[in-house]
Amino acid sequence: MLSTLVTMTERAHDPQALDPDRAGEPPTLLLRGGEVHSPADPFATAMVVERGHVAWVGSEGAADAFASGVDEVVDLEGALVTPAFTDAHVHTTATGLALTGLDLSGARTLGEALGLVRRFAAARPGDKVLLGHGWDAARWPERRPPSRAELDEATGGRPLYLPRVDVHSAVVTTALLDLVPGVTALDGHHPDAPLTGAAHHAVRAAAHGAITPAQRAEAQRAALRHAASLGIGTVHECGGPEISDEEDFTALLRLAREEPLPRVVGYWAQAVAGPADVRRIRELGAHGAAGDLFADGSLGSHTACLHEPYADAAHTGTAHLDAAAVAAHVAACTEAGLQAGFHAIGDAAVTAVVDGVRAAAEKTGLHRVRAARHRVEHAEMLTPETIAAFAELGLTASVQPAFDAAWGGDDGMYAERLGVERARTLNPYAALLRAGVPLAFGSDSPVTPLDPWGTVRAAAFHRTPAHRVSVRAAFTAHTRGGWRAVGRDDAGVLVPGAPADYAVWRAGELVVQAPDDRVARWSTDPRSGTPGLPDLTPGGPLPVCLRTVVGGRTVFVRPNE
């Protein structure tokens, strides 16, 4: 297999290979001698890829008939082939900057975080602005973020932008504030506490504005190559005027088209009021006016909008959009044939979105709203009523199971913010599936890392047992679910005619895991025809990606495999 893969890699890293007019069709391949995860044949061991699509899936014996008619034969040597993952919520440039910059997610104390800041500043004397990410004071014994004075000392008085892990607030140095005239008068400015709202957006714009195009391209390339190394074939980029800038967004889409990298589907989170806004969304190359169009903030930053006050703060968070604003956006997008979507975490924010989408449906017609497959990102605090509304309105829940793994449980950050009983209601994936709500899984990277098998594990072993789903359902949400979320029902699954987006894995025994043992026992019976997946029991090793292919072209091969 190694010699074939090396040949494929060399071809994939030739830029000419991405332009069919210059390089012809991708090669025709026969993969055999492994396990192919396909509903077309639950016992498949071989697959033919032709013209960038799956042409055939079947048994080893039948594969002999194809061997002489392909460009190359790949011996899988027992490896597992699955559809490539789709990460349905990514901030690509920020992910790359976290990979190449200061990452505080591993800091165990405030003092350790300040030490990392100090060493990072010393190691990068030429940076106009120091960029970091990932701190979470809820995990530190001090239970507080670094003060401005502490950061001024650690950086030697240089500009520093340091967003919290949820990216909804940030601590900064005095030198960075000095680059933003009038920032102290903006909403969300606090003399010695994390910045939120408009003040945060202003300093973020100043910090990111200091990044050169070369630095940005380096970060984007690093993020997408890292995604490919994890078996991710597509990412949904969630950009917008409050998150990045238009040049960042269009440069990313251009990079993904021109180099051997995962696909990028772009969402631009800007409200649509009329035809001019629709034209601008399309000129940017965005798939929809969706993603992080903020209805509220985050639980960690106390900015998610709640019906009842926080357990550890005497307020209900921040509402950025009401039902009327939601309705206007959804109606305008629906009329234009454009996908709409919102960021909504708190129960009050989710209610505003549901009420607004329902009002838009009354204006434009329910069938048109359902057909548009509008999205809600995160959708953490749901009730039986809002779950039923998602199903009624055809809303896709674009969710992040790693949030529960990081902050769920009776002693986690969610319980601290909301109290144990409310925290136990968060991220009810099983209830969403029972109601027929489409799920698309993502990471919100760099909020939580790109980690597709870890994401599937987090959903299957949710900290609240009642919210757990089968590994198969979680895997489907992280593969086919992402394609369905962009209106494609023909992809994310290895069947004839589907795009040849797949990953090859070194994995252990294939099993069927479900929350209900009766289901698991039936699913492993050969009569059920259920293809197995790797054992994701917590504590065990996760599959290792050997190769990732997008549209029949290799975008990653693990070295020395």
Lowest mean pLDDT among 148-152, 426-430, 511-515: 511-515
DSSP classification of residue 33: S
18: pLDDT strictly greater than 70: no
Q: Average pLDDT for residues 227-240, to the nearest whole number?
A: 98
**Does residue 218 belong to any structural domain of this protein?**
no
Conformational region of residue 294, where left means phi above 0, alpha means psi within -120 to 50, and beta covers everything else: beta
Q: For residue 550, what are the β-bridge partners?
A: 553
Indicate whether 66 and 111 sit together in one domain. Answer: no
CB 36 within 8 A of CB 47: yes
Please state, in angstroms and rounded to a whole number, the distance separating the CA atoms of residues 93 and 116.
22
Indicate whether 79 and 136 sit together in one domain. Answer: no
**Considering 155, 182, 211, which residue would you say is the last residue of a domain?**
211
Tokens of residue 455, six digits: 């994401």
The CATH number of residue 105's host domain is 3.10.310.70
362: pLDDT strictly greater than 70: yes
Amino acid at 544: V
Indicate whether 65 and 113 sit together in one domain. Answer: no
Indicate whether 74 and 103 sit together in one domain. Answer: no
Please report which confidence band the pLDDT of residue 58 belongs to, taking 50, 70 and 90 as the band edges: very high
Question: CA 283 → CA 274, 337, 354, distances in Å?
Answer: 15, 15, 29
Higher pLDDT, 518 or 81: 81
Whole domain around residue 160: which residue ranges? 93-211
Indicate whether 167 and 74 sit together in one domain. Answer: no
* CA of residue 434 relative to chain centroid, distance: 23
- Torsion, CA 263, CA 106, CA 429, CA 528, rounded to 10: 70
My answer on whether omega of the bond before 42 falls inside 30° of 0, hence cis, is no
Please state, in angstroms and rounded to a whole number, the distance separating the CA atoms of residues 416 and 310.
9
Question: CA 124 → CA 100, 101, 160, 431, distances in Å?
Answer: 12, 10, 12, 48
Nearest to 396 by CA among 505, 483, 287, 496: 483
**Does residue 534 belong to any structural domain of this protein?**
no
Please state, in angstroms and rounded to a whole number, the distance separating the CA atoms of residues 100 and 145.
23
Predicted local distance difference test score (pLDDT) of residue 14: 37
Indicate whether 69 and 98 sit together in one domain. Answer: no
Q: What is the 3-state secondary structure (H, E, C) of 278-315?
A: HHHHHHCCCCEECCCCECCCCCCCCCCCCCCCCCCCCC
Please report which confidence band the pLDDT of residue 517 belongs to, taking 50, 70 and 90 as the band edges: low
CB 333 within 8 A of CB 279: no
**Single pTM value for the model:** 0.87
518: pLDDT strictly greater than 70: no
DSSP classification of residue 461: T
**Does residue 500 belong to any structural domain of this protein?**
yes
220: pLDDT strictly greater than 90: yes
**Does residue 190 belong to any structural domain of this protein?**
yes
The phi, psi pair for 521, rounded to 5°, reads -65, -45
Indicate whether 201 and 114 sit together in one domain. Answer: yes
Nearest to 486 by CA among 315, 288, 299, 207: 288
**Does residue 462 belong to any structural domain of this protein?**
no
**pLDDT single digits (tens) 93-113:** 999 988 888 989 889 999 999
Higher pLDDT, 253 or 7: 253
Please report which confidence band the pLDDT of residue 24 belongs to, taking 50, 70 and 90 as the band edges: low
**Considering 166, 194, 211, which residue would you say is the last residue of a domain?**
211
Predicted local distance difference test score (pLDDT) of residue 418: 98
Judge residue 174's burial from the number of C-beta atoms within 10 Å of its C-beta, 0-12 exposed, 13-18 middle, 19 or more buried.
Answer: middle
Predicted local distance difference test score (pLDDT) of residue 74: 95
Nearest to 417 by CA among 297, 295, 302: 302
Own/partner contacts of 428-431, CB < 8 Å, gap of 24 or more, are 428/382, 428/387, 428/464, 428/466, 428/467, 429/399, 429/401, 429/459, 429/462, 429/467, 429/468, 429/469, 429/474, 430/466, 430/467, 430/468, 430/469, 430/515, 431/382, 431/384, 431/387, 431/467
Amino acid at 34: G
Predicted local distance difference test score (pLDDT) of residue 8: 35
Question: CA 208 → CA 71, 93, 160, 348, distances in Å?
Answer: 46, 10, 11, 31
Task: Give the helix/strand (H/E) hosting 50.
Answer: strand 46-50
Indicate whether 74 and 98 sit together in one domain. Answer: no
Lowest mean pLDDT among 209-218, 365-374, 399-408, 508-517: 508-517
Q: CB under 8 Å to 395, separation ≥6 — which residues?
A: 354, 357, 374, 375, 376, 389, 437
CB atoms under 10 Å from CB of 150, counted, come to 18
Please report which confidence band the pLDDT of residue 6 belongs to, taking 50, 70 and 90 as the band edges: very low
Q: For residue 251, what are the β-bridge partners?
A: none
Please report which confidence band the pLDDT of residue 525 belongs to, taking 50, 70 and 90 as the band edges: very low
What is the torsional sign of CA 281, 284, 286, 292? negative
* CA of residue 477 relative to chain centroid, distance: 12
358: pLDDT strictly greater than 60: yes
**Does residue 254 belong to any structural domain of this protein?**
no
Indicate whether 143 and 206 sit together in one domain. Answer: yes
Judge residue 441's burial from the number of C-beta atoms within 10 Å of its C-beta, 0-12 exposed, 13-18 middle, 19 or more buried.
Answer: buried
The CATH number of residue 75's host domain is 2.30.40.10
156: pLDDT strictly greater than 80: yes
Indicate whether 118 and 189 sit together in one domain. Answer: yes
CB atoms under 10 Å from CB of 32, counted, come to 22
Indicate whether 73 and 161 sit together in one domain. Answer: no
Predicted local distance difference test score (pLDDT) of residue 20: 35
The total of structural domains in the chain comes to: 2
Task: Give the helix/strand (H/E) hosting 547.
Answer: strand 544-550
516: pLDDT strictly greater than 70: no
Please report which confidence band the pLDDT of residue 512 belongs to, taking 50, 70 and 90 as the band edges: confident
Please state, in angstroms and rounded to a whole number, the distance separating the CA atoms of residues 305 and 295.
8
Q: How many CA atoms lie within 13 A of 212 on its CB side?
A: 6
Q: Average pLDDT for residues 306-326, to the nearest whole number?
A: 97
Please state, in angstroms and rounded to a whole number, the distance separating the CA atoms of residues 500 and 519.
31
CB 77 within 8 A of CB 69: no
Q: CB under 8 Å to 294, separation ≥6 — which residues?
A: 242, 269, 320, 321, 342, 343
Please state, in angstroms and rounded to a whole number, the distance separating the CA atoms of residues 370 and 364.
11
**Does residue 189 belong to any structural domain of this protein?**
yes
Please report which confidence band the pLDDT of residue 529 belongs to, taking 50, 70 and 90 as the band edges: low
Top-confidence range, 55-69, 77-91, 100-114: 77-91
CB 423 within 8 A of CB 410: yes
Indicate whether 79 and 101 sit together in one domain. Answer: no
**Considering 176, 211, 246, which residue would you say is the last residue of a domain?**
211
**Does residue 396 belong to any structural domain of this protein?**
no
